[in-house]
Amino acid sequence: MVDSENGVDSKTESVSFLNRFNLSLEEGYQVALNVFKLGKDGGKFSYEEKIKLAALWRQSTHGPFSADKFGEIGFFDFVGNDRRKAWQALGDMEKEEAKREFCQELSAVRQEEMEQVADKVREAKQLAKEAREREEAERKLAEEAERKAREEAERQAREAAERKLKEEQERREREAAQHQAAAMAQRQDQLADRDRQQRELIEAQRQQLQSSQQYQQHSDVEQNSQDTRHGAEQVDGAMKIAPPEVWSRPERADFIAQMKQDPEAVIVLGHGETVTVKAVTNPAGSRMFWEFATENYDLAFGVSFQWPAENSTEGPIVEILPSERRPSHQVVIGGSHDYPGSGTYLIQFDNTYSVLRAKTVYYRVYYAA
């Protein structure tokens, strides 16, 4: 709209005012509205200015004129009629255009008041902007501090978990090493005790054999008699031999583990099968020893002695220990026997009574002086 008196475009004037104070249309309109209310109440506007400004205010608030928006007025209500005519004169002007026109009119008639209020609004906007900027900066600083604190807490928690895991692993390794060392020490002590007991047993048997009259007779016969059947006597035409010593001990698992290290100390008997181990007397020895055990089932066991052959005839066999089922799956079965003379011990493992099960035998045979 162009002012008919000075040819100034109201839109250009209002935009210039808004730009000068860096205000939006709505902010400039509020400034003009405040100046209008203060001036209207203080009598600073002429009648024509009030009528025109009121019409622009209604147009910017309610849009184009309509009777239902304005209400009934009396015939002699001259002010009401002037107000209605002023509003009607604005026609279909848009609300935004009415706001610009309102700002232009106020800026023209009350420029100083408009500038004062605009300065206050601008100052308030600047303060609000600065406050928002401070709040934003403080918010960012708080977020950054919170982020760093969270990251530090996570790092500390992670390091604590890693330290705990490492300490637990080291503790388990120490316990495992201590347990292994203790087990090895215990195992070594057990082996040392078993070896000591075995040596003591052999020594006791040797001393018993050396001190016995039978051993002395055996030595005399060995040196002076051509008969190789020493340590035996003939009764009613049959060779008689002194009985063996037999024993058992409970360390079956350890004995089996030790024997497994030597493949020649292991025999597998099929069902119904018999295996005989031959042990020839050694001139350096005077007593024969045997020990054996099985894993899951018992086994029949017996020992015989065969004299040397004479005149191409196989030497006679004398039973020393009858073949009977022994609880070798529960204990280690052992025994020893003084040499009756030169010959061969026939150590028999008998599984003929079993028609279904095979047996694994772990054994050893040795001599002592």
Closest CA to 336 of 317, 314, 364, 300: 364
What lies within 8 Å, CB to CB, of 51 at 6+ separation is 79, 82, 83, 86
Lowest model confidence (mean pLDDT) among 64-73, 77-86, 136-145, 353-362: 64-73
Q: pLDDT tens across 41-78, in order?
A: 555 778 888 888 888 888 888 888 887 777 677 777 77
At 368, give phi and psi (nearest 5°).
-140, 155
Lowest mean pLDDT, pick from 111-125, 140-154, 274-288: 111-125
Any bridge partners for residue 280, and if so which? 344
- What is the reported pTM? 0.40
Q: What is the pLDDT of residue 18?
A: 74
Q: Is the pLDDT of residue 237 over 50?
A: no
Confidence of residue 210 (pLDDT cuts 50, 70, 90): low
- Could you give the CA distance from residue 222 to residue 215 in angstroms, rounded to a whole number? 10
Q: What is the pLDDT of residues 154-198, one digit of tens each?
A: 999 999 999 999 999 999 999 998 988 888 888 888 878 777 877
* Better-predicted residue by pLDDT, 360 or 11: 360
* pLDDT band at residue 207 using 50, 70 and 90 as cut-offs: low
